[in-house]
Structure 1
Amino acid sequence: MFQIRELEMIHWDFWQAIKTPLDAQIVTIVGPNGSGKTTLLDALRTLLALKCSGRRDYKRYVRNNRENFAWLRGVVSNPKRPGGGLFPYLFFPATTPEITLFCRIRRQGGDWMRQYAIAEGNVALTEETENAVQWLGVNEYKRRLEQAGLTPAIAEVLALEQGDTDKLCEYSPKALLDLVFQVFGDKQVLDNYAEAKLRLKEAEGELERMTAQLSQLGHDVEALRARANRYLEWQALKADTDRLANEIVPALKYVDQWGSLAGYINQFRGARKSLRLKQDELDALDARYRAQEAAQQAARQNEEQTRIDCDAAYRLFVDANRAAGDTEKTLKDAERLRELAASEHGADAVALSDRMGALRGKETALREAIKADKDERQQLAEAQFVLQSGQQPNPVFVSQMRAALDEAGIPHQLLTEIVEVRDPAWQEAVEALLAPFRHIVLLARVTDKRRAWEIGQRLKYRHFIVPDREPVEKAAKGSVLEVVDFKGDAPGWLIALLNRTQRVKSIEAGSKLDSDWITPEGFHKERRGGRDISVKAGDFAFGEAARKSRLNEIARRLRELNSDILERETEQQNLMREIAGIQQQLMGMQAVVQLASRQEEFTAAAERFPEEKRLAQETGAALAAAQTARDEASRAYMQAREAFVLVEAERRRLDQEVSGLIAQLTEQRAEQSRRIRELRDMKRSLPAAQADPAGLRALREQYGTVREVQHMIERQSATLESGDWETDSTIILRRDKLIADYAGLERDVQSHRIEVERTAELTDDARSAYINKLKATVRAYGKNLKHLGELAGIGVETDMPHLENDDTTLAQAGLVARFDFDQKGMMGMNDGEASGGQQVMKSLILLIGLMMDESNPSGFVFIDEPFAHLDIFNIDRVGAFLKATQAQYLITTPLTHNTNVYAPSELTLTTRKKRPGETWAPLILQTRRRCDAPAPQPISEPV
């Protein structure tokens, strides 16, 4: 078996991270009580997947440190097997001299789980190692260790309780034999055999009782079977007669009605399923509609706020710019007066008068231009408000016509209000094709056409007033109608125009078609030829894209108008100041006098002009930023509005489909109810028995006409009246129950008989064969004890127990071992003649004998406090024995012992208690013996 070279513990009990060498034949673990000696051995047991000492388990140790994980890592030897074979190394296919064992313990789901891994070589514990090794379950890990020599027998010895290792000599012969059988796996077999023998005797008695009961039950079954056959014949004939009269005859009359009703019901179910699917789709679309509506409202509020901010910034800019302009004009007046002062005496009054007239004419033209620009700005602002509210602004003649129709109480719509372009790529083509019809008036009622036409004649309305409308037909593939959604009924001729006009990507593609077509840029071909009918983006009128395009165009024009008005107002103010100056000169005021009288005004203007100019520049930058924010908010609102219109159109279309399906289902349900009522009226005259339509049609094929069935009923009724029948209705239940009881009992008897016979045979053969295995186990153990006694200089003899193929003999058998110390004669295991040291030697020989296995050389042993209560001489003697065996021993001892306990130890580990108030226990101290002499050679048959 392998030996242990090193142990590393992380978060094990109160040790945070400790690495301890164990590469010595005898390792002594010393420390005060409670310092962790047994904890260290339990770490090794857990690493080897063994039971911990006492009532402890690995979960107790990992809970103490309150961490969520713990690691155990051990380095063990991987010697080559003496015989080689298929597995030349203990951990084959691993062939490295050393093997690293890992145990990973983690908290999962409130409990602790452990996993194991085996790696070649001396592998350090790192994050890369955790991902590189292959993790094994506990059972697979135990199987690998058993292959390496850690057999179940050795595992039982290594897991002995603390203090039991030095008390084996106190066992009675029977207890010692039981321990030997338990370690070598024979105890469980013997226990299983005893239990099987007891169950066998019980089964034999049960079989005899069941056989007698089966014989009596067979006679009763035959008697009831004869009576039941007569009852079945009578019952079948009577039931068939009643069925013919009560079910077959009425069913043959009823069968034809079911066929048509079943087909109609299937049709109704299909329609109802389609309605549910459409309603689910509409519910999902309603959620999108509400979300898009909220997004549109938020975008509109944001756009309105940015427009208000932009207007406020514009007013601030105008005020600042006007103030700076006035101050600049004042400074220019000062400069002009200084120039006039130099030439005042030669001024020509006639030339000044002519100059003033020209300036007044120019100022009048500017005033009229400013008024025209402001009127246009007001109109554009009103159109912008209408567009932002989701409507389209109309020309004056269209507004007058609609107002007249509203006054007359004639409901109507414009064509632009019901058309939506689904694909923005074809917006320009649709606009071009529908441009002549953008002002068409669509009447909601045909009966209003005469009054509407009279109003159109009176107002000279030059566009169509259409009373006839029809639902939009299915669009042809590739037509313009395929990318247009109508929110209501439309003129049939307009729908036909859109449906017959194909969409083509280019003139080259369209030239290959014989039908009408149009390109995305608006080149249209019809029966008369081809021409360009494109429309400017600012003139779009149909759908959300048109409204968005017009809004962008209005915003651009408003920016131009604001800039023009500002420039013209500044120019107008300059003209007015120049006219006032000329007037003052013409009235006789001298330039020198004016300069003197306005000196304070000019000085103040020069001082405030830089600040006013800076303020004008800042307000101009703020105005530009506000205009940019307004434009972005407007674009966001247009996008939200466009998305909302598309969702609204889809929702309206789906709602119309759902309404149509509901109406259809209502009609189908009424028709189905009518047919069901008719069938229910027919069923009132039928018996209670029911059958599906397919079964009824099969009855028609089987029995033919109603008259033939009635003849069958007459013949069977005569037979029932003249026969001798069994009429007790309980006879069948009694027969079936008795037959079932007989069959079940017969199966049980047969099964029990086979099981008893086979069990008796196998039990006897197994017991006879296993006696040899028990004898071989005892002989092997006696050989191990004798060999160990020779190593220790102690004579050992064992008496072979009396093992026979008998339960009593096996239960009373025991193993007697005798020891000869110092050639003073043989003594028993616990006869009171041996000293304390001799008792320990006996126990060690008995213990190590359990570990010896010729197929797995080398190995290690855990011994808890073997030197307790020994004098110096016996301590030396036990130490010499341990060294002579050449096995690896891990020994614990308290601090109170004599120092001779360290004599056999090559490596001493000293554990220390955790100090109060500290989280982790101190590190383990190491003391290694200096070895100058060559190491002894291993014995021929090591433990």
Structure 2
Amino acid sequence: MFQIKTLEMVHWDFWQRISVPLDAQIVTVVGPNGSGKTTLLDALRTMLALKCSGRRDYKRYVRNNKENIAWLRAVVSNPRRSGGGFFPYLFFPLASETVTLFCRIKKQGGDWVRQYAIAEGDAQLDGTTENHLQWLGVGDYRRRLEQAGLTPAIAEVLALEQGDTDKLCEYSPKTLLDLVFQVFGDKEVLDHYQEAKVRLREAEGELDKMNQQLSQLGLDVERFRMRASSYLEWCSLGTDTQRLEQEVIPALQVAEANENLRHYLMQFKQNRRSFWHRRGDLAQLEKQLAVARLAAQQTLQGESQSKADYDLQFQAFQAVRDAARDTEKLIKEGERLRELAEREHGADAVGLNDRLGELKQQEGDLKIWLKNAKEERQQLSEAQFALQAGKAPSPEFVRQMRSSLDAAGIPHQLLTEICEVKDNTWQDAVEALLAPSKHLILLQRESDKQRAWEVGERLRYRSFIVSEREPAPRATLGSILEILDFKAPVPAWLARQLNGIQRVKSVEAGARINGDWITREGYLRERRGARFIGVDTRDYAFGEAARHSRLADIALRLKALNEEILNKEADLNSLMRDIAAITQQLMGMQAVVQLASRQAELAAAAARYPEEQAAVQRLGAELAAAQAALESSREGRADLRLGAQKIEIERDQLQRAIDEMQAQLQRQRNEISRQLTSIRTLREQVPSVWLMPATLRQLKEDYNSVAEVRHMMLRQTEQLSQAHWEKDETIVQRRDKLVNDYKALEGESLGHRQEVDRTAQLTDEARAAYINKLRATVRAYGRNVKGLGELAGIDVELDMPHLENDDVVLAQAGLTARFNFDQKGMMGLNDGEASGGQQVMKSLILLIGLMMDESNPSGFVFIDEPFAHLDIFNIDRVGAFLKATNAQYLITTPLTHNTNVYGPSELTLTTRKKRPGETWAPLIMQTRRRTEPQDASTLAITI
């Protein structure tokens, strides 16, 4: 590779124009911090189209001097290649020993642009230089330098950051291997392979998208096939409906009209024959009716005489029967008075009357008790029915209040209606706590509270009426609220009260609680003290247990009450019998007086009663005979009359039937005429081909009737109107196009899949083959560092990394190096066992090993402050190592180092800071060492 002899800088950073000689093997750039050592190296990097150090770039340096153009000029060697070939010189076709490199940086369009040129010999920078040069872009210039030996590997080393040149030994094995691959160009190839893998995955992703598109297109094809089928079915239904309406129905109408006319003619002939038969029957009935009427008229006179005889006998019988009935009643009254008089003769009337008063008083008391008991039984039955229906009965004042609220249109609930006890073992405690609130009324609308309060005031309702309600809060563990289930919002104060009372098993357990508590039996402790508040089971009002308890109590009470009512009713019946008996006794005492006063009347009645009874029997027999004769006359005339009526009815019915048949025959004649006209009209409208007998028979077999065809048309019309049909005429063509597109995309997808699979196979095989190149690179680098180690008297060993054609293996591969200083044993790269000088020697060996290339001898290296933190011995050792190599080094060092740092240097350049107030920095001072002829035995290593 070429070496640099001179560098000239014009308007570079704060140097106006300065020329620096670099024609020595080791050039040391010395100066204080900030004096321009790195600036000088960045000028060389920019001259070689490399990256600047750190975050700097060439634009930073050309902006500082506020000039519109800056120049860099370097004179470099152009040695002849050892192998000759088509390009015998490094900068062929330039054949001079030296070549001049130019870099022009000028401002164009508001930005800085750099261009490069290569001139033969030592070309000076003057006013005509720019016009005589052939300017190159950065890419072309880099390719020319690469041909001259500045390979990408050397370019990577020269572009290392400040301070990185002596820290290579601190790299991890993976980082060191990545640097080796990057310097030797293998990293870029691996990145290309990785990029190919990424592109391959992208291609597979695109193929997946194509497959998704193919699937979507397949769905579209199926959808369009369904739509096309719908369109074809719609067309078929429409065509079939039109054919049925325009062709089938008219032909079937002709066939049905002919068939109907034949049946009609047969029916007409049958009706006409029946008509003449009926007229003959009518004449016979007329004769029979005349005979029956004459016989009925003749029996009417005998019936009138029998009726007159019966009336006379009935009047005589009625007069005798009434007289005998009155006599019989008088005789029975006398017998009753005699019986009473005989039975009560000698009884105590005053005592019986007093006893009767006492019994009537007892009767009144029993009736009052039974009335009250039956009312109570009725109330209990109603309560039992309400409880069985799930409704708890309420006291009268509650019912009255609720009725008034309902009348006012105020919706409400009772607390008992929304509360349920989940644990029946605590029913006693719950009933005791909620007893004062069991008649609590909960309004469902807060806006009704004023009207509800007015109703409560008017009725003097003593329980609370509450409008402020909220859902029950979360129950505290062990509280009364925990065993209650509220089906609707409740007053907040009630929920807080129940949530603050704990359930305890006994008073002993409650005594250990600091707060309100209650036992199962209802013993309550609150802020005022403790007391028993339990209630009777008959007063239960909350939950299912209360309902069952009240039902049980009502059932027991009803049973006892029914038994009492039965016993009292038996007592009342006994009393009423005693009262009736005493009353009869008292009445018997009056019967003696009445019997004496009516003795004559009773004797006369007893004397005439037998004669009256005999007259009644005689006249009754005569009345029965007259009635039988009258009934016989009536039955005979009725039979004759009924016979005549039957004949008349039959005659009238037959006459009406004949009249109806005559009218029907006339209608049939008219209908036959109409059908003949209709058939002629229909035949004119139907093509003759459809009127062939065979055709009409086939239509009848296929469709049976016009009604069925119309029904079929109706179904098809409803199907056409109600179902969703595709009516786009282009749908078939669109379906066919989609099918073709699907087939084309399917073929394209298959071709792409084959290409992707083939590309993946080729990529994998190519990278597998390139693994050998990676191993060769590592082996070459190992030989380089081993040769450098032998030069420096250091044993160097490299462990070959495990390289396979696998992404994970390549990503985890690393290069491990070990060094043996002074035969003290092997040490690693950065294991903490090496001194500062040894660390620098490690880094220099690793660094220079990156630049060694047997096919490209000589060359140059930029090393930024390699002697930092080294003692005198190590500085001398590093200097001796640098002098032993056949390469050009540009080394920077601060002024604070030991003077031994200048030992290996043949040319020392001293930079100085720009003085305050001055525009340009001072020139670089030069110090050149007097050199002796090199010993032929000196070991040279090519870079």
Q: What is the TM-score when the length of structure 2 is the normalising length? A: 0.46
Q: What is the TM-score when the length of structure 1 is the normalising length? A: 0.46
